[in-house]
Amino acid sequence: MPSARDHGSTGRRGRTDGAARRQPAAAAPPTPTHTTGHPRNRQLRSIRLVTATAAALVCLGALSACGPDDNGGQDAGKTAAPAPSDGAPSAPAPSNGAPSGAAPSGAPTGAAKGIPAKAWMDTKSIPMDETYHYAPLAANAKPLTGVVQFKGMELCHAPVAKDDEYMFTGTAAAKASVGFGGDRWTAQQTLLFEGDPTHSSGTKQMTNLTDGHLTDALKGCAKTVPGATVKVTSGEGAPFFAAVLTVPQADGSTVTLHEYVVTDGGVVNELSVWATAKGGAQPKDAWKAPEDKYVGSGMSAPMCEALPGCDGR
């Protein structure tokens, strides 16, 4: 391999105007053998110089294929894929938190922060659906973050205590409201999923504690809202809680609330159906509902089909 000394001042890439090309070998004057060595060596060096010069010319045409790049890290065996030239932006990631494989944006999947669409009760099981034909709950579901405020606790002015907030957070929560508002009946289902109790007995205990706080707030509504009335309609030992409440409001109106609570596995499930009437009047439409047990089973069956840990009692 020729050295820099052999090339003279040609450098790493050689010179295109080296001494071997400035003067034909035949016209050069004889050179003493003690300077260049044997004539055969002199001929070999001339051949090598010409070869190096030709290689340098090839490198100049394809510099990236030989010799180091500017940062000294080039690898001729690896090339980067060219960047797109059409300027089209890449597709943005979904911003709604939907899992991969979810329906496109705008489709009524009903999957709200981990609550599957099939967990929501059929509106045919909701009181007053015979009159109102409520829209599907799953299509109106909205995710809840932070501490979940159940409708019954809200109307009874029973906020969650700071030390109890962990019980009302869970791993997934959502609510869905349908109806007309005012003196016509509105229905709202709230689902709080604490987790799969089959992996932790603590999850089941926490779910039961949450249920206890909610039902105690409903039973004690007259203590937190002066003039409120409470009538529990579910029997002792029933697998659900049901009650009818009247709750006076600051503007002189009164809310009539039919409240249902089902707790199973790691899920607390509330159905609130209410209407607001002014000046002692009654809701516009007379109350029509199936028996409490049918409302309760209508709440629990889809919940236990969709979320783990339910026994469907």
CATH of the domain at 218: 3.40.1000
Which residue's entry shows tokens 């229905």?
187
What does the pLDDT read at residue 313?
Answer: 53
301 and 162 in a common domain: yes
278 and 162 in a common domain: yes
250 and 141 in a common domain: yes
- Number of domains within the chain: 2
- Domain-located, residue 109: no
Identify the segments of the chain with pLDDT beneath 50.
1-113
Domain that holds residue 56: 4-65
- Domain-located, residue 87: no
What does the pLDDT read at residue 31?
Answer: 44
- Domain-located, residue 73: no
121 and 53 in a common domain: no
Rounded to 5 degrees, φ, ψ at 166 are -60, -30
122 and 56 in a common domain: no
- Domain-located, residue 99: no
- Domain-located, residue 213: yes
CB atoms near residue 85 (< 10 Å): 6
Model confidence, pTM: 0.65
- Domain-located, residue 195: yes
286 and 200 in a common domain: yes
- Domain-located, residue 88: no
166 and 246 in a common domain: yes
